[in-house]
Amino acid sequence: MATLYILNGPNLNLLGTREPEVYGKQTLADIEKLARDAAKKYGLEIEFRQTNIEGELVNWLQEARTKAAGVILNAGAYTHTSIAIHDALKATTMPVVEVHLSNPFAREPFRHHSYVSGVATGVICGFGARGYVLAIDALASLLAGAKA
């Protein structure tokens, strides 16, 4: 069974209480359940993680190179600042979907640039927690096409 890594960056552990008008009222645990349910219908396993530490995200991306069929990454604020995450993603050959709960392009100008987008297979933003399900659907489709 193929495994997807779903990696979440800084402050996403505060979902449900941090700016719910921007990020919604669902917790990260709620999103994990949604993701597991969505992956199950495709026969996919999920490795779901969150960290506030940039280097830990880099380590997990490097680990995913040999253990995952694809990655869903919500790098949080590191999206806009981390060349290290960009470089770790560049070193992967698997599909990567960048996910954001909000639409960064409808927010502050500093959020309009992503170091992740240029090396991701695709980007999903602005659909709240549903974005993770959409990312799983997209990766499942890509992986099924790779097997055909």
- The yes-or-no answer on residue 23 being catalytic is yes
- The yes-or-no answer on residue 113 being catalytic is no
- Which of these is catalytic: 5, 23, 78, 132? 23
Distance CA 67, CA 144 (A): 18
Residue 38's alpha-carbon distances to 42, 43, 60, 67, 140, in angstroms, are: 7, 9, 22, 20, 10
- Which of these is catalytic: 5, 78, 86, 100? 100
Distance CA 120, CA 10 (A): 19
Query: Which of the residues are catalytic?
Result: 23, 100
